[in-house]
Chains A and B, each alone.
Chain A
């Protein structure tokens, strides 16, 4: 339907939309996050839900205590190697469509604890991350910005064709392998299907 006809109809009190637009509008305005925090970033996440920053404006105030009822996992804080399998397991238990925001330096890369014996170098080695937020910790505004970024991405998704979202692709995995506790480190150290180390710019 062209924009002119749409505007003409709405002047007469008839509103039209596409199924895709309605579906995405509904999805993006009721993203229910999973209620879990791992470290200090969780405090900022809590602040973002309270009256001053008010995440409820984006339809995401309903933090669910069960992964079965959640759409969004906010990985807020340091993911230790001991915690990483549980985080992946929680992600696997969430129903599709599901999204991940990696919040803060630790969750995206290990942050100040990178290369430590007990900290994972970013949760994106095991689960697909939609939005990364740098910062130590990121301010609530940064989390809101990540939220809006995620909403924009959901809004722009086509429901058919090769670029359709993962939950509409039958062969796409919705569960990811849970790493095991090895004698010296987690095994495997990464999920090679979704993560590869960044390429070096210069030949060393």
Chain B
């Protein structure tokens, strides 16, 4: 049995100086909690996970990406104000904007000690220029293709990856299709029961006078 994540976080804090790691609880019943590791500490944490005699997490089973777009949360606030000389209660809506980021989730197992998974995640600074994360390929060789896939579909740049090229799409492709704001080509041709978004796209295409993609 692996130690609890709380114990692991405190042990990492004592063993690795000034490491930025925290627990991400999972609210779902029985859902596995995970660790969030700061990108600058990623390599150190990974080496620790692999070499620590109590963990020996020698197998990276899976890594994948998650896109968290910018979020706007609205909050209604009531306040008293003077309107035309009369004090009235006015309701205002406050908007708070949370900047988005890309996240990569890693699932680790130990073949040697037969335990797992340990789930840890790293988040990029933003979704535009700061999409850099340390590559895990030097630690777990199996990360190479999966990191290429995440780079292809989400646009996360893995620093010190030996061969960071697109894996699934062609090399001159410019988009990252698994991002939430990916705009697919408007090439709807024959939609017998078009509705909602598809209908709007067909109308937009028809009004622009271009038929199909050609």
Which A residues are closer than 8 A to B by beta carbons?
A: 81-82, 115, 117-118, 121, 181-185, 187-190, 192, 197-198, 200-201, 204
Which residues on the A side are within 8 Å of B211 (C-beta)? 197
A64 to B182, CA, bound (A): 41
Beyond A189-B187, A189-B214, A190-B213, whether A117 also contacts B182 by CB under 8 A is yes
Cβ-based interface call for B174 (8 A) = yes
8 Å CB contact of A117 from B177, B189, B190, B213: B177
CB nearest neighbor in A for B153: A117
CB-defined contacts of A118 to chain B, threshold 8 Å? 168-169, 177
A184 proximity list for chain B (CB < 8 A): 173-175, 185
Q: Evaluate contact between A183 and B212: CB separation under 8 angstroms.
A: no
Pick the contact of B188: A115, A117, A182 (CB < 8 A): A115
The 5 closest A-B pairs by CB, nearest first: A189-B213, A197-B189, A117-B177, A188-B214, A181-B170
The answer to the question of B172 belonging to the interface, with a C-beta cut-off of 8 Å to chain A, is yes
Which residues of chain B come closer than 8 Å to A200, judged between CB atoms? Answer: 190, 192
Q: Can you list 14 A-B contacts (CB < 8 A)?
A: A82-B170, A115-B184, A115-B188, A117-B169, A118-B177, A181-B172, A181-B173, A183-B173, A183-B175, A189-B185, A189-B213, A197-B212, A198-B189, A201-B192
A181 to B173, CA, bound (A): 7
Chain B nearest Cβ from A115, distance in angstroms:
7
Chain B neighbourhood of A81, CB < 8 A? 170
Which residue, of B172, B173, B190, B192, has the highest number of chain A Cβ atoms within 10 A? B173
Residue from A185, A190, A204 in contact with B185 in the complex, judged by beta carbons closer than 8 Å: A185
On chain A, the residues within 8 Å of B194 by CB distance are 204
Pairwise interchain contact A82-B172, C-beta atoms closer than 8 A: no
Interface of A is mostly: loop
> How close is A198's CB to chain B, nearest CB, in angstroms?
5
The residue on B at minimum CB distance from A190 is B214
A121 to B189, CA, bound (A): 10
Q: Count of B residues near A, CB < 8 Å?
A: 22
Closest A residue, CB atoms, query B168: A118
Chain A residues near B189 (CB-CB < 8 A): 121, 197-198
Give the CA-CA distance A192 to B213 in the complex, in Å: 10
Q: In the complex, what residue of chain B is closest to A201 when comparing beta carbons?
A: B192
Question: What 0/1 readout, one digit per residue, does chain B (173-213) give for beta carbons within 8 Å of chain A?
Answer: 11101000010110111101010000000000000000111
- Contact between B213 and A188 (Cβ–Cβ < 8 Å)? yes
Contacts of B175 in A (CB 8 A): 117, 183-184
Residue of A nearest to B177 (CB): A117
List, in ascending order, chain A residues with CB within 8 A of B169's CB: 82, 117-118
Contacts of B177 in A (CB 8 A): 117-118
Closest beta carbon of chain B to A122's beta carbon, Å: 10
Cα distance A101–B139 when bound, in Å?
Answer: 47
Choose among A81, A115, A187, A198 the residue with the greatest number of B CB atoms under 10 Å from its CB: A115
Q: Are A185 and B213 closer than 8 Å at their CB atoms?
A: yes
Residues of A within 8 A of B187 (CB): 121, 185, 189
User: Contact: B172 with A183, CB < 8 Å?
Assistant: yes
Bound-complex Cα distance A62 to B104 (A):
48
| Chain B residues numbered 47-95 whose CB sits less than 8 Å from any CB in chain A | none
Given contacts A189-B213, A190-B214, contact A183 B174 (CB under 8 A): yes
* Chain B residue at minimal CB-CB distance from A185: B185
Q: How many angstroms between the C-alpha atoms of A192 and B194 in the bound complex?
A: 23
Residues in B neighbouring A82, C-beta threshold 8 A: 168-170
**Residues in chain A near residue B184, CB distance under 8 A:** 115, 117
Taking CB atoms, residues of chain B closer than 8 Å to A185 are 185, 187, 213
A197 to B211, CA, bound (A): 9
